[in-house]
Structure 1
Amino acid sequence: MDVLANNAGAILGDRHVTTDGFEETFRINYLAPFLLTNLLPDTLLASRALVMQTSSNAARLSARVDLDDLNNAQKYSPVRAYRNAKLELVLFTRELHDRHHEQGLSSVAFHPGGVSSNFARTSRSPVGTLFRTPVPRLFFQSPQKAAGHLLRFVTPAPGDSLISGAYYENGKPRTIKTPPIGPEL
């Protein structure tokens, strides 16, 4: 396996806890990629693979990890749950790099940009309202173009280099300062 692309993403509506006890947005956006990656360590390390996480600029702009509320039981909102899960993916990407890069594993997280898709259309959040309007069709990129951002890491152009452990926006590494840890005020 050369590449593992964790590309899950959803902003849902009301808070829903799955049968295994996890809030659904956290489960889809963070736990699923975390679990899949951690089920494959021997394969990923043996093949010196690249692990990619589709994140969001919400991770950089407005997320805050609350270790006492990873399951979003307090102050739930669909957008808060999404942005925090995407920040957790960026932190996971850094941790993969720190733990396994010397063994040949590379990892990146990236924001693909706004995509004209069905993303969040069923959510009752402000983002869901936006995706039910013509705005995404008029101003966001096509899913095919957004896929190009993912493929850029898989098949880099000559001279392009990948910075393992980095978070990318618009094809360039972006800094996410050490995020605040703890409850939102």
Structure 2
Amino acid sequence: MKFFSSQCSFDYPWAHVSASAWKKYPNEMSTHVVAVDVLRREVDPVSGILTTERLITCKQNIPRWLLAVVGGRDTSYVREVSEVDPVAKTLTLRSQNLTMNHLLSVQETVVYSPDTTDPNKTIFDQTARIVAYAAFQRLCNKIEEWSVERFRQNAALGKLGFESVLKKLADAVPDTVLPSEILQPAAAN
């Protein structure tokens, strides 16, 4: 079992980042993501939490030796469940690979929250747990090490791609139009 974690900040307020998260893919830096389909979306009438379930289709450049060992394909699917909490001002995304998860399990959690020291910035906190299942521990270690490095590369590219998405939305939509009001729970009567 291997772990990956990363934290950074984006120079945009939380409302802007949380609105932009829905437009993160496709982008020019994360070309491995080829499709994102919304499976379910609902708002809890009491808490105002927006829950969305999406299916993300990826086309990975997987080493041939790994494909030969596991008999897999280069197209994979990831299930993502996100929660936007308008009161706590958090966007939490939890994802799990669906393809070949009996051989390699990747569980990722990403949380976007306002920077407590600067309301014009948003903190990005990412963690992942990567577990390979094979008959030999040495093979598990090799697969996990490769997966962590691939995860690190994709995370770096993903950050650059998301920066471009954030900038495009900022250029296209003035801050006063961002859906911060939409993300607030309705007032009780």
Relative to its length, the structure with more strand (as a share) is 2
Greater gyration radius: 2
TM beyond 0.5: no
Relative to its length, the structure with more helix (as a share) is 1
